[in-house]
Structures are given as structure tokens and as C-alpha cells.
Amino acid sequence: MGGPGGLRQARRLCHWGPLVALAVVAVCSATAMADAALWYWPLDTAGGSVNFVVLLNWTVMILYNYFSAMFVGPGYVPLGWTPENSQDCMYLQYCKVCQSYKAPRSHHCRKCNRCVMKMDHHCPWINNCCGYQNHASFTLFLFLAPLGCIHASFIFVMTMYTQLYNRISFGWSSVKIDMSAAKRDPRTNIPFGLSAFAASLFALGLALGTTIAVGMLFIIQMKVILTNKTSIESWIEEKAKDRIQYYQTGETFVFPYDMGSKWKNFKQVFTWSGIPEGDGLDWPVRDGCHQYSLTIEQLKQKADKRVRSVRYRAIEDYSGVCCPVTKGVKTFFTTPCTEEPRIALSKGDLILATRGLKLVAPQLCLVKRNIEMSSGI
């Protein structure tokens, strides 16, 4: 991982998302292994050894898929890319930043500053986009993390139960409880003290919270994968239905990449080799559609967005900072919590608001996603 590319990859770790995610994995894994080996299921038993190996296996698989999703990346449209047939350019959007046409299913990510192939979303937890090349590893991470946390939660609960059931030792005293139903005899010289109890309880809350949060993300990802869509494409499909209903055009929009079978859609992402099908630029489509059915719909929506946009004039200067403390209490506390970049504005600049949000003029200056400069950005 040497050279500029290696440095760039190493810098991906220096972000709050990966640091928090790796800290959660480290705390849950280390605490579960310590609880199992020291107090609940010692390694001198066959069951304890198997349990420890399974815990270790969860950690290895979670980290492998996590780092694969982070460092392999989503795959980017080559700079300066154009379709083989020059006449097909009329069906595609042009990216001024990448100086190339946006290939079908690709979108420009402001954070990565590149056009991403089959972009699903930019994930702050891996500090990278989820797209064509890493969709499978990212989804496997979302699948394995809750399973590992469920196993760890079981260890935490059983450790606290067995230790408090047999012996309570909080540092200042030791109270033995004589209960005939207690068959487990602690075989460690290390007392289960207050610090160990607090660590296990904290790790239990962390594991349960991760199970719920990450599990929900996994369900969302599987829903779009089984229809061979991305999160962005699901949103485009919804907007297509709204556009057709609004203008009463009588059109019928059919998502072109749904193969009509959940299994076929599943195999578009998950393969035995781990390498996704295709090249990320050309995609198989269902009968009645062609390669540019979705991009044509995107062009229609972009034109419709400009028609329905509302022109505003900036009434104050804005530097582009994320937390505009000088713009008043209301603006500060109602600023959207997002990592989207902001743009600096000067008093008198004209902007086009392309989303239906009820915002005061200073707030309109804060969200780059919701505005476009009248110069045509």
C-alpha cells in the first residue's frame, strides 16, 4: 500500500466513521472473548474452545468484509469516458468535474469527487461509496455484524448471570451465594469485579444497538438488491411515478435492470468468485427496455426539476461553513445535519431552489444538495 494511492487509502481511516465502527468492533469482540475465556466458558473445555474460535471467526470475517468495502471501493467511471457509439451521448448526462459522460447507473459523488459506477450511496462508516465493486462486501458486512453482535450479547448476558449467580465481587467485599441449583463453579483466579461488570454491561448495550441499527440497514440493502436496484435508483423510480402522475403523460416507466427473478437479481451482486458480473458500464436489461431507459428518465426528471425550480436572491453573505453561528439561533439549529458540501454565496447572488423545502433565505444558502447556482452548475 505504498505511494500516493496507499497514502490516500490510509487516510480513509482518519475519519470519524471508520474510527467509530472499528472501535465498536474492537470493544464488542475483545470484551466477548475476555468474558468467555475468563468467566463464562473457559478454554480448557471443548465447548469453550469452539465458542472462542467462533467468536474469533466472526471478528475476522466482519473486518475482512469491512476493509474490502472500504479499500476496494465502488469502482469509478474512467475519466473522459464516452460511449462507443457517439450518438448514445444524447441519452447521457455529462459530468463537468470528471470531464466524461455518466455511464448508465453511475452518479457523481461530491465526497469522492468522482463518478461512481452503480452508486448506491456514500457511506460515512466506511468513508467511501457503496457501488458496483464493493456492494457485495458491504452487504456481507451488514449481515455478519449483527450475527457477531448477537453471539457476543449472549456471552455478555450469560457471563453476568453466572457470575452474579455464583459470586458477587465488587472489589470491597466478596459475598458467596450458596444455591444448590448453581452447577457452574467459577474456575478463574481473576474476580469478576465492578469494572468487569460495567464493561460487560456497556458492551451489551453497544452490541444490541449495533444489531438493531445495522440489521435494519441490511434489510434495506437486501430489498434493493433483490430487485436489482440501488437506493438512488429506487428514489429515481419513485420520482418517475410522481412525474408521470403530475403531468398525466400516460407513460409507463419500467425499471430496466430488474431481471424478473430475485435469484437472478441476487447473482448480479453476489458471485462465488467475489467479483461482480459485468464491467460496471454496460448492464443486461429486461425485455422491452434498452441500455438507456433509466438515463432517459433521469434527463426528463432533470428538465422537470429546472422547470419547477424557484429563483431566490441571497440576502446575506455566506462563507460556506457547516455551522453558521453568525446567522441566528433558528438557522443554526435548523441546519440539516449532513456531510454534503456547502457553497459560499455573496449578497445578491441568484440561486435556484430545486427541492420543495420551506426554508428561509439564509438556510437556502446552506444546503448544496437543494440548490443550483443560476449560472448552470
Confirm if 72 and 66 have CB atoms less than 8 A apart: no
Share of the chain above pLDDT 90, in %: 52
Does residue 375 surpass a pLDDT of 60?
no
Q: Is the pTM of this model over 0.85?
A: no
Does residue 370 surpass a pLDDT of 80?
no
Average pLDDT for 247-261:
89
The pLDDT score that the predictor gives to residue 45 is 84
The C-alpha atoms of residue 284 and residue 269 are separated, in whole angstroms, by 13
The C-alpha atoms of residue 130 and residue 122 are separated, in whole angstroms, by 6
The pLDDT score that the predictor gives to residue 157 is 93
Amino acid at residue number 11: R
Please compute Rg for the chain using Cα positions.
26
Q: Give the pLDDT band of residue 176 (cuts 50, 70, 90).
A: very low
Q: Give the pLDDT band of residue 210 (cuts 50, 70, 90).
A: very high
Share of the chain above pLDDT 70, in %: 84
Confirm if 134 and 73 have CB atoms less than 8 A apart: yes
The pLDDT score that the predictor gives to residue 59 is 96
Q: How far apart are the first and last CA of the chain?
A: 36
Q: Give the pLDDT band of residue 154 (cuts 50, 70, 90).
A: very high
Report the catalytic residues: 123
Q: Nine-digit cell at 206?
A: 453497544
Average pLDDT for 112-129:
94
- Angle at the Cα of 109 (from 107 to 115), degrees rounded to 5? 50
Confirm if 229 and 135 have CB atoms less than 8 A apart: no
Confirm if 276 and 268 have CB atoms less than 8 A apart: yes
**CB within 8 A of 111, min separation 6: which ones?**
122, 129, 339, 341
Burial 333-343 (b: 16+ CB within 10 A, else e): eebeeeeeebb
Burial 280-304 (b: 16+ CB within 10 A, else e): bbebebeeeeebbbbbebbebeeeb
Confirm if 302 and 354 have CB atoms less than 8 A apart: no
The pLDDT score that the predictor gives to residue 3 is 53
- What secondary structure letter does DSSP report for 76? B
